[in-house]
Amino acid sequence: MPQRARAKGFVVAKPSAIDPDQSAIPVLERLPGDIESMADLPLDRRQETNRRNGVFKAFLYGNFHPRRRASRRSADQHDFLFDWHEPRILYLALGVLLLSCTDALFTLNLLTIGASEANTFMATMLERGVDSFLAVKIGITSISLVVLVAAARRKFFRSFNVEHLMQAFCVAYVLVIIYEIYLFAFVFEVSLF
Protein backbone atom coordinates (compact mmCIF):
# COMPACT_ATOMS: atom_id res chain seq x y z
CA MET A 1 0.00 0.00 0.00
CA PRO A 2 1.30 3.48 -0.75
CA GLN A 3 2.32 5.52 2.23
CA ARG A 4 0.99 9.08 2.42
CA ALA A 5 3.05 12.06 3.52
CA ARG A 6 1.82 15.60 4.13
CA ALA A 7 3.69 18.50 2.57
CA LYS A 8 2.21 21.99 3.15
CA GLY A 9 -1.43 20.90 2.94
CA PHE A 10 -0.99 18.54 -0.01
CA VAL A 11 -1.22 14.78 0.17
CA VAL A 12 1.61 13.13 -1.74
CA ALA A 13 1.46 9.43 -2.51
CA LYS A 14 4.72 7.51 -2.32
CA PRO A 15 4.77 4.30 -4.31
CA SER A 16 5.62 1.20 -2.37
CA ALA A 17 8.28 -1.21 -3.47
CA ILE A 18 7.24 -3.80 -6.06
CA ASP A 19 6.72 -7.21 -4.55
CA PRO A 20 8.21 -9.79 -6.97
CA ASP A 21 5.78 -12.43 -5.68
CA GLN A 22 2.80 -10.22 -6.58
CA SER A 23 3.58 -10.31 -10.34
CA ALA A 24 3.09 -14.08 -10.34
CA ILE A 25 -0.54 -13.74 -9.21
CA PRO A 26 -2.94 -14.00 -12.20
CA VAL A 27 -4.62 -10.78 -13.27
CA LEU A 28 -8.12 -11.95 -12.31
CA GLU A 29 -7.03 -12.67 -8.75
CA ARG A 30 -5.43 -9.21 -8.36
CA LEU A 31 -8.60 -7.39 -9.43
CA PRO A 32 -10.83 -6.19 -6.60
CA GLY A 33 -14.29 -7.68 -6.33
CA ASP A 34 -15.82 -11.09 -6.77
CA ILE A 35 -13.40 -13.29 -8.73
CA GLU A 36 -16.10 -15.81 -9.68
CA SER A 37 -18.15 -13.14 -11.51
CA MET A 38 -15.05 -11.99 -13.42
CA ALA A 39 -14.14 -15.48 -14.55
CA ASP A 40 -16.59 -15.16 -17.46
CA LEU A 41 -14.78 -12.10 -18.86
CA PRO A 42 -12.95 -12.81 -22.12
CA LEU A 43 -9.21 -12.48 -21.86
CA ASP A 44 -8.97 -11.11 -25.41
CA ARG A 45 -11.61 -8.52 -26.32
CA ARG A 46 -10.60 -8.16 -29.97
CA GLN A 47 -13.19 -9.00 -32.58
CA GLU A 48 -12.60 -11.89 -34.93
CA THR A 49 -13.22 -9.77 -38.05
CA ASN A 50 -10.59 -7.19 -38.81
CA ARG A 51 -12.30 -3.91 -39.69
CA ARG A 52 -9.18 -2.70 -41.53
CA ASN A 53 -9.50 -5.32 -44.28
CA GLY A 54 -12.18 -3.48 -46.27
CA VAL A 55 -10.05 -0.82 -47.98
CA PHE A 56 -12.63 0.17 -50.61
CA LYS A 57 -15.42 0.40 -48.04
CA ALA A 58 -13.22 2.50 -45.75
CA PHE A 59 -12.28 4.76 -48.68
CA LEU A 60 -15.93 5.37 -49.56
CA TYR A 61 -16.90 5.88 -45.93
CA GLY A 62 -14.03 8.32 -45.39
CA ASN A 63 -15.03 10.37 -48.43
CA PHE A 64 -18.58 10.89 -47.17
CA HIS A 65 -17.82 11.03 -43.43
CA PRO A 66 -14.51 12.86 -42.96
CA ARG A 67 -13.19 12.94 -39.43
CA ARG A 68 -10.66 15.73 -39.16
CA ARG A 69 -11.69 19.11 -40.51
CA ALA A 70 -9.12 21.26 -38.73
CA SER A 71 -6.10 20.91 -36.51
CA ARG A 72 -6.54 20.90 -32.77
CA ARG A 73 -4.33 23.94 -32.21
CA SER A 74 -4.30 27.13 -34.25
CA ALA A 75 -0.48 27.10 -34.37
CA ASP A 76 -0.60 23.76 -36.24
CA GLN A 77 -2.93 24.89 -39.04
CA HIS A 78 -0.32 24.38 -41.77
CA ASP A 79 1.39 21.24 -40.45
CA PHE A 80 -1.22 18.55 -41.19
CA LEU A 81 -3.04 17.15 -44.20
CA PHE A 82 -6.79 16.69 -43.85
CA ASP A 83 -9.37 14.62 -45.68
CA TRP A 84 -11.96 17.41 -45.79
CA HIS A 85 -11.64 20.63 -47.75
CA GLU A 86 -13.90 23.56 -48.40
CA PRO A 87 -15.98 23.39 -51.60
CA ARG A 88 -14.13 26.42 -53.00
CA ILE A 89 -10.98 24.30 -53.32
CA LEU A 90 -12.90 21.75 -55.41
CA TYR A 91 -14.24 24.52 -57.66
CA LEU A 92 -10.78 26.02 -57.95
CA ALA A 93 -9.23 22.66 -58.91
CA LEU A 94 -11.99 21.98 -61.45
CA GLY A 95 -11.54 25.47 -62.86
CA VAL A 96 -7.79 24.97 -63.32
CA LEU A 97 -8.39 21.58 -64.97
CA LEU A 98 -11.02 22.96 -67.36
CA LEU A 99 -8.81 25.92 -68.23
CA SER A 100 -5.93 23.50 -68.93
CA CYS A 101 -8.15 21.49 -71.28
CA THR A 102 -9.27 24.70 -72.99
CA ASP A 103 -5.64 25.76 -73.37
CA ALA A 104 -4.82 22.40 -74.97
CA LEU A 105 -7.75 22.75 -77.40
CA PHE A 106 -6.81 26.31 -78.34
CA THR A 107 -3.14 25.32 -78.73
CA LEU A 108 -4.01 22.52 -81.15
CA ASN A 109 -6.27 24.82 -83.16
CA LEU A 110 -3.60 27.53 -83.27
CA LEU A 111 -1.05 24.98 -84.48
CA THR A 112 -3.31 23.98 -87.38
CA ILE A 113 -3.52 27.58 -88.62
CA GLY A 114 0.21 28.28 -88.47
CA ALA A 115 1.28 29.02 -84.88
CA SER A 116 4.15 27.25 -83.12
CA GLU A 117 4.41 25.87 -79.60
CA ALA A 118 6.53 28.08 -77.33
CA ASN A 119 7.02 25.44 -74.61
CA THR A 120 9.90 23.19 -75.73
CA PHE A 121 8.77 20.22 -73.64
CA MET A 122 5.25 20.37 -75.07
CA ALA A 123 6.69 20.88 -78.56
CA THR A 124 8.58 17.59 -78.09
CA MET A 125 5.33 15.91 -77.03
CA LEU A 126 3.61 17.33 -80.11
CA GLU A 127 6.29 15.76 -82.32
CA ARG A 128 5.37 12.39 -80.84
CA GLY A 129 1.70 12.95 -81.58
CA VAL A 130 -1.45 14.71 -80.43
CA ASP A 131 -2.34 11.83 -78.07
CA SER A 132 1.01 12.15 -76.27
CA PHE A 133 0.59 15.92 -76.04
CA LEU A 134 -2.89 15.69 -74.53
CA ALA A 135 -2.00 12.83 -72.17
CA VAL A 136 1.06 14.64 -70.80
CA LYS A 137 -0.59 18.06 -70.55
CA ILE A 138 -3.77 16.88 -68.85
CA GLY A 139 -1.94 14.21 -66.83
CA ILE A 140 0.61 16.63 -65.37
CA THR A 141 -2.15 19.11 -64.55
CA SER A 142 -4.34 16.44 -62.91
CA ILE A 143 -1.56 14.93 -60.78
CA SER A 144 -0.40 18.39 -59.73
CA LEU A 145 -3.92 19.35 -58.73
CA VAL A 146 -4.34 16.22 -56.61
CA VAL A 147 -1.13 17.07 -54.72
CA LEU A 148 -2.11 20.73 -54.36
CA VAL A 149 -5.61 19.91 -53.10
CA ALA A 150 -4.19 17.47 -50.55
CA ALA A 151 -1.89 20.21 -49.26
CA ALA A 152 -4.30 23.12 -49.74
CA ARG A 153 -3.99 24.36 -46.13
CA ARG A 154 -0.24 24.09 -45.92
CA LYS A 155 2.17 26.97 -46.34
CA PHE A 156 4.17 27.23 -49.56
CA PHE A 157 7.74 28.25 -48.68
CA ARG A 158 6.31 29.36 -45.32
CA SER A 159 4.90 32.51 -46.89
CA PHE A 160 1.42 31.82 -48.31
CA ASN A 161 -1.11 29.00 -48.48
CA VAL A 162 -1.06 26.43 -51.27
CA GLU A 163 -4.64 27.49 -52.00
CA HIS A 164 -3.24 30.87 -53.08
CA LEU A 165 -0.84 29.05 -55.41
CA MET A 166 -3.83 27.31 -57.02
CA GLN A 167 -5.50 30.70 -57.43
CA ALA A 168 -2.35 32.00 -59.13
CA PHE A 169 -2.42 29.01 -61.53
CA CYS A 170 -6.05 29.77 -62.32
CA VAL A 171 -5.24 33.42 -63.07
CA ALA A 172 -2.24 32.38 -65.20
CA TYR A 173 -4.41 30.03 -67.27
CA VAL A 174 -7.01 32.77 -67.75
CA LEU A 175 -4.27 35.10 -69.02
CA VAL A 176 -2.94 32.40 -71.38
CA ILE A 177 -6.42 31.82 -72.79
CA ILE A 178 -6.97 35.58 -73.24
CA TYR A 179 -3.66 35.67 -75.14
CA GLU A 180 -4.76 32.74 -77.32
CA ILE A 181 -8.06 34.48 -78.07
CA TYR A 182 -6.04 37.57 -79.02
CA LEU A 183 -3.96 35.40 -81.39
CA PHE A 184 -7.11 33.97 -82.96
CA ALA A 185 -8.80 37.33 -83.40
CA PHE A 186 -6.01 39.76 -84.31
CA VAL A 187 -2.99 37.78 -85.54
CA PHE A 188 -4.64 35.00 -87.54
CA GLU A 189 -8.00 36.82 -87.97
CA VAL A 190 -10.05 33.73 -87.16
CA SER A 191 -13.44 34.12 -85.52
CA LEU A 192 -14.08 31.84 -82.55
CA PHE A 193 -17.82 32.40 -82.49
Domain limits, the chain:
50-84, 85-187
Q: So what's the pLDDT on residue 181? A: 95
Q: So what's the pLDDT on residue 192? A: 76
Low-confidence ranges of the chain (pLDDT < 70): 1-55, 58-59, 62-64, 66-84
- Main-chain phi, psi angles of 16, to 5 degrees: -85, 165
Which residues does 24 contact at the CB level (< 8 Å), separation at least 6? none
Q: So what's the pLDDT on residue 97? A: 97
Q: So what's the pLDDT on residue 140? A: 97
Q: How far apart are CA 64 and CA 58, in angstroms?
A: 10
Q: So what's the pLDDT on residue 137? A: 96
Nearest Cα to Cα of residue 153 among 103, 56, 88: 88
Q: So what's the pLDDT on residue 154? A: 80
Q: How far apart are CA 94 and CA 146, in angstroms?
A: 11
Q: So what's the pLDDT on residue 1? A: 47
Q: So what's the pLDDT on residue 69? A: 58
Q: How many CB atoms lie within 10 A of CB 148?
A: 20
Q: How far apart are CA 134 and CA 104, in angstroms?
A: 7
